[in-house]
A and B are shown apart, each in its own frame.
Chain A
């Protein structure tokens, strides 16, 4: 149990376009979903925390107009990278939590390459 699906796994886009990444909890209701960014050989950098039906809480330094997060239901959260630029190229990972004990279940990640 506790499977999180993230789609797409890899996306290449042109500079200036927007890209949407989906994160779904397949067999549980996620009270909270998280979006991370990971640079090569580095740790996970938390971008934002989202709860169903409310606005996402962004970490300091993360542009909320650039990285739009929508948490439409207890099983789906989306991250939209708006007007993507090459510096946005990275590995984006989502996770979902179903209780208050911080256990996070991770998606397989999305590699974004902006040309």
Chain B
């Protein structure tokens, strides 16, 4: 069965600093990988996705993620964090044999210090 691990429950960074959120997955084939962001009391918004091809994917709001098959990782990065980036971030892996269904990690809460 597929699974997703986000090792960091909570991360605090200063505004303007760089950010990396970790995500490790377990899946038997080439996965579909996603990062979503959730603001308090809201649904989730897709930041970026990986299906195939270039392993470095660009997303919205200046985020990027790199798929590393050898490490089973899909870490999210941003070179300079803004206060508005404070939110909950979820990594997800899609089961490409079960159309549409995804498994989500437990999430990482990002706090941004002024």
Contacts and interface: CB of A to CB of B under 8 A. Distances in A.
A104 interface: yes
Contacts of A95: 43-44
Contacts, number: 65
A108 to B, nearest CB: 5
A31 B94 CA distance: 16
Given A4-B43, A49-B100, A97-B100, A102 B107 contact: no
B100 A31 contact: yes
A102 B32 CA distance: 8
Given A93-B43, A109-B41, A104 B105 contact: no
Contacts of A93: 43-44
Contacts of A101: 32, 49, 51, 94, 96
Contacts of B94: 101-102
A102 B43 contact: no
Interface residues of B, number: 24
Interface string A11-39: 00000000000000000000110100000
A39 to B, nearest CB: 11
A103 to B, nearest CB: 6
Nearest to A108: B43
A54 interface: no
Given A42-B106, A43-B90, A104 B100 contact: yes
Contacts of B36: 106
Interface of A: 4, 6, 31-32, 34, 41-44, 46, 49, 91, 93, 95, 97, 100-109, 111
16 contacts: A34-B100, A42-B106, A43-B106, A44-B44, A44-B90, A46-B101, A49-B101, A91-B41, A93-B44, A95-B44, A100-B99, A101-B49, A102-B99, A102-B101, A106-B36, A109-B43
